Amino acid sequence: MEKFQVKFMPDQQVIEVEQGTSLLKAASQAGIFIKSSCGGKGTCGACKVTVISGEAKSERTGNLSPEQLSRGVRLSCHTFVEGDLTVEVPPESRLQAHQVLLEDANAALLTETSKDLLTYYGYHPLARKVNIRCSEPTLTDNAGDWTRLSIELKRVLQSDKPLTIPLSVLQTLPETLRQAHWDLSVILTDLESGYTVLHVEPANDRPCYGLAIDVGTTTVVVYLVDLDSGEIVDKQGSYNKQAQFGDDVISRIVYAVDSTENMAEIQKAVVDTVNVLIEGILERQSLTSQNIASAVIAGNTTMSQLFLGINPRYIRLEPYIPTVNSTPAVSAREIGLRLLPEALIHTYPSVASYVGGDIVSGALATDMANSDEIILFIDIGTNGEIVLGNKDWLVSCACSAGPCFEGGGILFGMRAMPGAIERVDIDPESLDVKLKVVGKIAPVGICGSGLVDCLAKLRKAGIIDRAGNFQLEHPSQSARIRATEDDKEFVLAWAHQAGGDKDIVISENDVKNLIRAKGAIYAGIRSLLQTVALEIDMIERIVIGGGFGNYLNVHDSVEIGLLPDLPQEKFEFIGNSSVKGARLALLSQKAWNEAADLARKMTYIELSIGTTFMDEFVSALFLPHTDLSLFPSVEGTF
Amino acid sequence: MEKFQVKFMPDQQVIEVEQGTSLLKAASQAGIFIKSSCGGKGTCGACKVTVISGEAKSERTGNLSPEQLSRGVRLSCHTFVEGDLTVEVPPESRLQAHQVLLEDANAALLTETSKDLLTYYGYHPLARKVNIRCSEPTLTDNAGDWTRLSIELKRVLQSDKPLTIPLSVLQTLPETLRQAHWDLSVILTDLESGYTVLHVEPANDRPCYGLAIDVGTTTVVVYLVDLDSGEIVDKQGSYNKQAQFGDDVISRIVYAVDSTENMAEIQKAVVDTVNVLIEGILERQSLTSQNIASAVIAGNTTMSQLFLGINPRYIRLEPYIPTVNSTPAVSAREIGLRLLPEALIHTYPSVASYVGGDIVSGALATDMANSDEIILFIDIGTNGEIVLGNKDWLVSCACSAGPCFEGGGILFGMRAMPGAIERVDIDPESLDVKLKVVGKIAPVGICGSGLVDCLAKLRKAGIIDRAGNFQLEHPSQSARIRATEDDKEFVLAWAHQAGGDKDIVISENDVKNLIRAKGAIYAGIRSLLQTVALEIDMIERIVIGGGFGNYLNVHDSVEIGLLPDLPQEKFEFIGNSSVKGARLALLSQKAWNEAADLARKMTYIELSIGTTFMDEFVSALFLPHTDLSLFPSVEGTF
């Protein structure tokens, strides 16, 4: 097979690939990650690149316009190398490390609440470091090295729990003990079932750390936690490299089950994602992987299975069965994670195929399982999961909201990073627009909170009707409302304002997608309430988690019918509840044990059974809803 | 580096090696294993080969005679390839798979005694197979695969013990369950601490097997045991391939600690040895490694550590500390053994660096820890280990008897295989010799039992005095007694009788070695008795284990002062007690738990402390002993 060189611009990265390689794959090999919402099927158009020079063959052109085609714009997933090439990857086609540090605003709240729960569950990390001094062996005191070490450890730990040592640690033991002159630091797991020695080294006072990891479909976040103090020492997040195989869990599953190679590749992508984050943190903190003794991972069921290399085939096929609800702890060595090789990786248990460990983790962080009040917990991420209940009962469900609140399936959708429109004001008469953009730079696209706001404002300004249809005959006669070849759209920012060659618009198709997404979530809430025969106003507190939830405006959300019409003071935002629960488990054996109980306690309601959800969904496909009496505070605005 | 071809005869094996490779290493690469008692130091002379043609450079010639050198005889460890070569490897220089099947004579005894102990401890194998049927999942009964499987398993096992599943098994679970239509055979460990699923397959009635393995310094023996019936289905033994690195544990340690590569090589040698034995058995029984669910290994402390890849450096250095007394179970995968990858390999706990798991296993098989009688258990192998005691107390020690009872360090020494002289009769007047040879063929050498017999007869015929000095002036004037350049010797078989070109002799040096060996064992017995202030006649039963012990003649052994002078009926031979104890543990969880207690209970007496042992040893360097009153039955024969 002939090989050719592909040069990616503006990175100037050159890579040699075989003839026939897709540009999407070539870019990935060059370390440039391109969006691929549909998983490379050639339908989403997210992976656009421009072929500047050289020979490439395109098999599919999706909805590229003749003008784009003439400029060399191609779908990288269906364009294949036929000679040496130079290809430009525009910013909007790139997966980018987006800013979890945006969440710092909530750090105080996060830490404070966690501390409360830590006090409640008791501080007892899943791994720890103890310093001990063993007596030296003699001819008359000739117990084996491990016997000597374990006797002293048990004395210091004051516990009769089983104490084990993996072979790999045993193999290094004789030299370490003698180099250390029997004056030792021992890092061990501390679980209910017993202790396992992870590492032995000469005595020192270096802290010992753990990782709380949220493996989201779109985003992965890692917190470095000091296991002695419980403090979050550092945090870092990035996109999940699996995004190159599709935006949502379904595309990922479709990709993974296709072949053993795909499965290995998609597992490696997420493990690599986490390893890169770990390495960034280690470098910044001047630590090595030997300092990291434990990790708790929270992710949805598909993410958890992919992370562990377990084929997710049956998650997607009715009756939607995961391989494992409560995953056994595995060693870092087994999955290639850069911690101490024998460090245990604990994966949060899941409730069902579509209510995963991230929701159990979040629910633990809300403390709803100990609450007298009835709490509604909503996690809006790539999917939308809902838990309802209190200390006596919990029900949960998942509604396929789709990725549009994270920018997926929306023409100018993007995540909340610099250039993202997050607030929209539209003058109802002139239709003049005022935007608030993350990072106060020229707008590039629009993120979830911006979309919610936009939807409310479009409706208020009469640009769309309650079903989301565009009103081309708007009294303003504004040029911002216009029809295209096959859609209608509203211009949020003109090309010259956007600093690009295109107007930033929201289309009727975008609006319909958003209405379906918000409708699915509201219908999920209503369906859950019906299974327990409760009314909306019996909800005493609404807790909203998830990266997107963090920036959500309650007033807007109620106005479009995404969230129930309840008093503002009942709403609480807890940010990334998943990583918060992961940290809690990392620091408290009791909390971690509770997680398994919690997962079992959360009754899963399968929305596809019966007609309740579909009926509710159809009723919710209006702004805010078919039944306006459900939204009294909005009703008056018409 | 230039490469040359070496052809080994009479095997006709040709191998290409780099210039400068030793013939010992080249032979090993060609699959021909040459004895190397000294571990390749060029001192033992066991690795003799004859260079028939071609160029080789010898750096050391040891004690080869000018006549041998002129014939092309060389030490293969110190002769290096300098061109294409043809080399003959004589039978006496070869490590050979010797016949454990010789032990079949004891099979009945073995099986019967084990069954008694099995009844006592209770039949409860360390791994088992259960057939279960799970209900198929539905939309309303949507527990994860592992949850579903574990609920049904716990119901069938009727146990609340923890049940775990390794990641590798989990990864195959979803497809297996569905291919099997939820009708399953599950192989799992069944330990006191809990169950671990090792393998899941469609329901079947195939039996499930375990392995009892004795890893001796010289010999490795594997028993295939049906875990349902407890029957020994097959057995196979061979030399330990580590023999190419030296005959005794000290040479092996010296080799292993030299470099990481050596350590890896010596571990691989023993793992390979066991794997070859397993494969032979599997092929013969038409089984695969998936049928083998568990293994119990018994070996001395050095063998156990080398098997597990744990550096044995400190076993050899004062104060002689092993890395581990009670070794954690490891998976077959971790050490590359051909069982089910997740099958657990249990290694017998050791008492000290020189009283290892083989002795604990043997002691368990003797049942001495439950005995009212005072029992003396002696295991005579490459080393000599002794345990004394009853249900209330146990003391143990190791005496460096050396490998001469296994043929090491004796000019014509060999193991009990065809061609080995096992009985010697010498006419006291004419010194005519009658021999009994294993396999009734021409004699090749002399094995342990033959050596003991020979020593007794040499003394009785006045060929040697009580200190082992040869009497060249024997009244018979027989040509069989003769002086050589630097030694004296007695001809057991003339070259023409031996079908070779050399007379088979026993030398004064051989005799002195044997006296030191028997003296060490007897001195060990006396030292142990002294630590508990007992006299020899207070021993109620003497149990002798070990491959060599099996063929030992009690009368001869007492006559040379190897064994105490006690009535014949007090002696019992139990053959390979080590593998017997391994089988017992494999079949009884309680017996296996007992092993750990037993190891702790066996107080180790370090003979190098104080002068007791040395005093006893010096007194025992006579035939039978300096103090003839200790051997009343022998005293009258002078």
Within 13 Å of residue B402, how many CA atoms lie on the same side as its CB? 18
Q: Cβ distance A3 to A63 under 8 Å?
A: no
* Interacting residues of A499 by C-beta distance below 8 A, sequence separation 6+: A442
CB contact under 8 A, A321 and B145: yes
Option in B143, B319, B323 nearest A138 (CB):
B319
pLDDT for the residue numbered B107? 45
Angle between helices B107-121 and B357-366 (to 10 degrees): 80
Q: Closest partner residue to A323 among B170, B334, B335, by Cβ? A: B170
**Are B170 and A328 in contact (CB < 8 Å)?**
yes
> How far is C-alpha A112 from the chain's CA centre?
23
Q: How far apart are CA A65 and CA A71, in angstroms?
A: 10
CB within 8 Å: B326 and A147: yes
CA B335 distance to own-chain centroid: 20
- The CA distance from A149 to B458, in Å, is 53
* Inter-chain residue contact B325 with A352, CB threshold 8 Å: no
Cβ distance of B144 and A324 shorter than 8 Å = yes
Decide if pLDDT at B105 tops 70: no
Contact B323 A173 (CB under 8 A): yes
* Mean pLDDT (whole number) for B503-529: 95
Alpha carbon of A546: minimum distance to chain B alpha carbons (Å): 25
Dihedral angle computed from the Cα positions of residues A32, A37, A42 and A45, in that order, rounded to the nearest 10 degrees: -80
Cis amide prior to A10 (ω within 30 degrees) = yes
Record: contact A328-B164, CB cut-off 8 A: yes
**Which of A135, A142, A172 is the mutation pick for testing B, counting most B CBs within 10 A?**
A142
CB A299 within 8 A of CB A348: yes
pLDDT score at A239:
83
Check whether B111 has a pLDDT greater than 70. Answer: no
Best of B305, B321, B354, B593 to disrupt the A interface (most A CBs within 10 Å) is: B321
How far, in Å, CA of A411 to CA of A424, rounded?
17
Instruction: Read off the DSSP letter of residue B526.
Output: H
d(CA B489, CA B470): 8
Q: Which residue of A has its CA nearest to B141?
A: A319
> What's the rounded Cα separation, in Å, for the pair A34 and A477?
39
Name the residue facing A167 among B142, B164, B308 (closest C-beta): B308
What pLDDT band is residue B259 in, cutting at 50, 70 and 90?
very high
What is the predicted pLDDT for the residue at A482? 95
Exposed, middle or buried by CB within 10 Å (0-12, 13-18, 19+), for A392? exposed
Q: Are strands B344-347 and B330-331 parallel, antiparallel or unpaired?
A: antiparallel
Element (H, E) at B49: strand B48-58
Q: Give the Cβ contact number of residue A537 at 10 Å.
A: 11
Site from A191, A323, A397 to mutate, B interface, most B CB atoms within 10 angstroms: A323
Q: CB neighbours of B138 closer than 8 A, spacing ≥ 6?
A: A319
- Considering only CB atoms, B144 lies closest to which of A193, A325, A330, namely A325
Per-residue pLDDT, A114: 53
- Reported as type and span, the H/E element at residue A394 is strand A394-399
Are A140 and B353 a contacting pair at CB < 8 A? no
Instruction: Judge contact between B213 and B221, C-beta under 8 A.
Output: yes
Residue type, B202: P
A and B: number of Cβ contacts within 8 A: 143
> Which residue in chain A is spatially nearest to B146 when comparing CA positions?
A324
pLDDT of residue A638: 63
d(CA B617, CA B541): 23
Q: Which two tokens stand for residue A129?
A: 């470091």
What pLDDT band is residue B93 in, cutting at 50, 70 and 90? confident
State in Å, rounded, how far the first CA of chain B is from the last one: 66
Q: B139 vs A320: CB contact, 8 Å cut-off?
A: yes
Q: Distance between CA A241 and CA A35 in Å, rounded?
A: 10
Mean pLDDT lowest among A367-376, B31-40, B189-198, B262-271? B31-40
* A chain contacts of residue B330, beta-carbon cutoff 8 Å: 167
In the predicted model, residues of chain A with pLDDT beneath 70 are: 96-115, 547-550, 637-638
Contacts of B308 in chain A (CB under 8 A): 167, 170-171
B167: closest CA of chain A, how far (Å): 7
| Among B140, B142, B173, B271, the residue to mutate for chain A (most A Cβ within 10 A) | B142
Q: Sheet containing A571-575: give its strands across.
A: A571-575, A541-545, A375-380, A384-389, A394-399, A602-604
Residues of A in contact with B166 (CB under 8 A): 328
pLDDT for A97 equals: 47
Length of chain A: 638
Largest CA distance in chain B: 100
The predicted pLDDT at position B109 comes to: 39
Q: Which helix (H) or strand (E) holds B139?
A: none
Three-state SS sequence of A119-185: HHHCCECCEEEEEEECCCCCCCCCCCHHHHHHHHHHHHHCCCCCEECCHHHHHHHHHHHHHCCCEEE
Q: What is the ipTM of this complex?
A: 0.85
Report yes or no: B142 and A604 within 8 Å, Cβ to Cβ: yes
Above 90 in pLDDT, residue B571? yes
Q: Element (H or E) spanning A284, and its range?
A: helix A260-285
| Domains in chain B: ranges and CATH | 3-93 (3.10.20.30), 125-202 (3.10.20.880), 207-347 (3.30.420.480), 367-403+520-628 (3.30.420.40), 404-513 (no CATH)
Among A62, A340, A94, A46, smallest CA distance to A200 is for A340
Q: Does A170 sit within 8 Å of B308, measured CB to CB?
A: yes
pLDDT over threshold 50, residue B506: yes
> How far apart are the CA of B92 and the nearest CA of chain A, in angstroms?
37
Q: What is the pLDDT of residues B384-411, one digit of tens each?
A: 899 999 999 999 999 988 778 877 788 8
Q: Is the distance from CB of A491 to CB of A452 less than 8 angstroms?
A: no
Q: Return d(Cα B475, Cα B428) in angstroms, integer.
A: 10
Rounded CA gap, A163 and A152, in Å?
Answer: 11
Q: What is the mean pLDDT of residues B146-170?
A: 95
Per-residue pLDDT at A110: 43
Are the Cβ atoms of A334 and B142 closer than 8 angstroms? no
Lowest mean pLDDT among A53-62, B100-109, B350-359: B100-109
CA dihedral B371, B376, B378, B384 (to 10 degrees): 130
For residue range B584-632, list pLDDT tens digits in order. Answer: 999 999 999 999 999 999 999 999 888 999 999 999 999 999 999 999 9
- Residue-level pLDDT at B100: 40
Rounded to 5°, angle at Cα B72 from B67 and B77: 110
Mutate to test the interface with A, among B154, B172, B323 (most CBs of A within 10 A): B323
Distance of CA A152 to the CA centre of its chain: 43
Name the maximum alpha-carbon separation found in chain A.
Answer: 100
Read off the pLDDT of residues B208-225 as tens digits, 9 standing for 90 and up. Answer: 999 999 999 888 999 999
B53-76 burial code (b ≥16 CB/10 A, e <16): ebebebeebbebeeebeeeebbbb
| Residue B39: per-residue pLDDT | 72
What's the pLDDT score for residue A421? 93
CB A289 within 8 A of CB A339: yes
Query: Average pLDDT of B65-93?
Result: 89
- By CA distance, what is A607's nearest residue in B? B139
B244: helix, strand or coil: helix
β-pairing verdict for B292-299 and A344-347: unpaired
User: Mapped to the 3 state alphabet, what secondary structure does A534-576 carry?
Assistant: CCHHHCCEEEEECCCHHHCCHHHHHHCCCCCCCCHHHEEEEEC
Percent of chain B with pLDDT over 90: 73
- The closest CB to that of A321, out of B137, B323, B608, belongs to B137
CA-nearest residue to A170 within chain B is B310
CB contact under 8 A, B170 and A352: no
Closest-CA residue to B296 (of B202, B221, B354)? B221
Task: With beta carbons less than 8 A apart as the criterion, state whether A452 and A407 touch.
Answer: no
Q: What was the pLDDT predicted at A458?
A: 96
Between CA B441 and CA A156 the distance in angstroms is 65
**How close B147 gets to chain A, by Cα (Å)?**
7
Assign B131 to helix, strand or coil: strand
pLDDT of residue B64: 83
**Considering CB atoms only, which of A140, A324, A330 is closest to B146?**
A324
Shortest alpha-carbon distance between residue B109 and chain A (Å): 35
Q: State the DSSP H helix or E strand holding residue A259, giving kind and residue range, or none if neither.
A: none
**Does the distance separating the beta carbons of B608 and A308 come in below 8 Å?**
no
Judge contact between A390 and A374, C-beta under 8 A. Answer: yes
- The answer to whether the Cβ–Cβ distance between A170 and B323 falls below 8 Å is yes
Instruction: Return the HEC string of B145-203.
Output: HHHHHHHHHHHHHCCCCCEECCHHHHHHHHHHHHHCCCEEEEEEEEECCEEEEEEEEEC
Contacts of A321 in chain B (CB under 8 A): 137, 142-145, 174
Among B248, B302, B247, B303, smallest CA distance to B270 is for: B303
Task: Chain A: give the shortest CA distance to residue B170, in Å.
Answer: 7
Interchain CB distance below 8 Å, A167 and B140: no
Instruction: State yes or no: pLDDT of B416 exceeds 90.
Output: no
- Spell out which residues of chain A touch residue B171, defining contact as CB-CB under 8 Å: 308-311
The reply to whether residue A146 touches residue B324, judged by beta carbons under 8 angstroms, is yes
SS3 B561: coil
> With contacts defined as CB-CB under 8 Å, which chain A residues touch B264?
none
- Minimal C-alpha gap between B158 and chain A (Å): 20
CB contact (8 A) between residue B142 and residue A604: yes
Local confidence band at B1 (pLDDT 50, 70, 90 cut-offs)? confident
d(CA B251, CA B246): 5
Q: By CA distance, what is B318's nearest residue in A?
A: A139
| Nearest-neighbour CA in chain A from B351: distance (Å) | 8
Strands laid side by side in the B219-226 sheet = B232-239, B219-226, B209-215, B292-299, B344-347, B330-331
By C-alpha distance, the chain A residue nearest B331 is A167
Q: In angstroms, rounded to a whole number, what is the distance separating the alpha carbons of residues A138 and A141?
A: 5
| Shortest CA distance from B311: residue in chain A | A171
Chain B residues with beta carbon closer than 8 angstroms to that of A326: 144, 146-147
CB contact under 8 A, B142 and A319: yes
